[in-house]
Amino acid sequence: MSAEATPEALAVVPARSTVRRRRAPRRLPHGWALVREILFYLLVLIAVAISLFPFYWILRTSLESNAEVARGVGGSNGLLPSHLTFSAYSNDFNQQHFLTPLLNSAIVALGATAVTVVVASLAGYALARLPIRGAGAILAFILIAGFFPVLAMVGPLFLLFKELNLLDNIYPLIIVYLVYTLPIATWLLKNFFEQIPKDLEEAALVDGATPLQALRKVVIPVAAPGVFTAGILAFILAWNDFTFAVSFLETPAHFTAPLAIVNFGQSQFQVFYNRIDAAVVIITIPIALLVLFAQRRIVSGLTTGSFR
């Protein structure tokens, strides 16, 4: 097969990043261009600093004792911690058995993400491509469902789950969290599918593929940025919930991570920020790794020269 990016070639070869092909020639820019480059990297640095500095603070807090936490920057070392101690971490794992809530959160968030990605992709595709009467109404409903105030939902859902004996169980949460994830995932994917030119699909169909095959081999790879974005959004939305978890879960063994964190970080009057932050560090590292891994997949699906 030739190296040309013809529609037929694209139809069967999953889209890859085109980034490498467009690398600028390696000579140092000068004059205005140099200034712009420097400004650019400065902006990048500022963006990273703003994003990560609070996390540095969380990390620092997790390694301090409670009294040092209260002192904050007012302590002797200012930005740097004065003493390091892992007591918060050992407390989290040994006394509080943090592993269990972590696992519970992972199960629920992954479950919700999996369901969301599949269901929202199908619906988004259908709403973008297929002649559905009342597509507008359906989209409007999906939107309302996403914006019904959670506070107004908790009470009635508690009643419902009580009747159905679904309280203190993490699995119903997977369905409940869909309320956070499905609306935005569906809208996002619908817009994505709308933007993919029909030519790609039609080329595949001309080549003899069935509509579903065309969907799988051509549309989905090209829509990969959207699908991965939707997946990441869904995961984090599901992971972060506190309101539903605190209402529906009763025994510590069934708590999700945000719930557990708040619980063991507090006694009646005291808040143990170091314990809470240690837990946050523990949670964030796998998520950050997950994102680092997934972000490489959020690349352009459309390649140069696909429309000659």
Partner 1 sequence: MSRRWAKREGLGTLAFVVAAVVAAGCGSSSTTKQVDASANQTIVFAESGLGTEGKQTQAAIEGFEKANPNIKVSIDVLSPNSTTYLQQLQQRFIAGSSTPDVLESDVTYPAKFAQAGWIRSLQSFNPDMSQFFPTEGAAGMYKGQVYAIPWFDNPEGLFYRTDLIPTPPTTPAQVVTDAKAAMKKDPELKEGLAFEGDKYEGAVTSYLTTVAPFGGKLVANDIDSTGNVAALTWLHEAIYTNKIAPEAVTGWQEGQVQEEFTSGHTAFAINYPFVAAVAAEGGPAKGHTGLIPFPAGPGGSPGSALGGEMLAINAKSTHSPASYKLIEYLISAAVQTARAEATGDPPSLPAAYTQALFAKAPYFKQVKVLNQFAQPRPVSPSYLQISAYLQSALSSVYANASSPSGALSTAASQIKTLEEG
Partner 2 sequence: MSAHAQPAARPVAPPRKAQRGGGGQARAQRRLGYALVAPVVILLLAVTAYPLVYNLWNSFHRVNLSIANQPRSFIGFDNYTKMFGSSEWVTALERTAAFTVVSVFLETIAALGLALMLNRNFRGRGFLRAAILVPWAVPTVVSATLWKTMFDPRAGFVDYLLGGLHLPGATTTWLAGVWTSWAAILVADAWKNVPFIAIILLAGLQVIPSEVYEAARMDGASGWQSFRRMTLPLLKPALGVALIFRTLQAFLVFDVIYIMTGGGPGVSTETLSFLNWQTFLVSTDFGYGGAISVMLVVISLIIAAIYVRVLRPERVA
Chain positions contacting partner 1, by CB under 8 A: 66-67, 70-71, 96, 154-155, 158-160, 162-163, 246-247, 250-252, 262-264, 266-271
204 binding partner (options partner 1, partner 2, none; Cβ < 5 to 8 Å by kind):
none
Rounded Cα–Cα distance for residues 72 and 95 (Å): 26
- Counting contacts by CB under 8 A, is residue 6 touching partner 2? no
Shortest Cβ 276–partner 1 spacing (Å) = 12
Which residue, among 248, 242, 282, 281, has the nearest Cα to 263 in the 3D structure? Answer: 242
- Counting contacts by CB under 8 A, is residue 9 touching partner 2? no
Shortest Cβ 101–partner 1 spacing (Å) = 12
Tokens (6 digits) for 38 = 């420097």
Binders of partner 2 among residues 13 to 32 (CB under 8 A) are 18-19, 22-23
3 binding partner (options partner 2, partner 1, none; Cβ < 5 to 8 Å by kind):
none
Among positive and negative, which fits the CA dihedral 9, 11, 14, 20?
positive
Shortest Cβ 226–partner 2 spacing (Å) = 6
225 binding partner (options partner 2, partner 1, none; Cβ < 5 to 8 Å by kind):
partner 2
Which residue, among 60, 6, 8, 52, has the nearest Cα to 278 in the 3D structure? Answer: 60
Which residue, among 293, 169, 161, 179, has the nearest Cα to 238 in the 3D structure? Answer: 179
142 binding partner (options partner 2, partner 1, none; Cβ < 5 to 8 Å by kind):
partner 2
Rounded Cα–Cα distance for residues 56 and 66 (Å): 17
Binders of partner 2 among residues 219 to 248 (CB under 8 A) are 225-226, 229, 232-233, 236, 239-240, 242
Which residue, among 228, 225, 209, has the nearest Cα to 217 in the 3D structure? Answer: 209
Rounded Cα–Cα distance for residues 202 and 176 (Å): 38
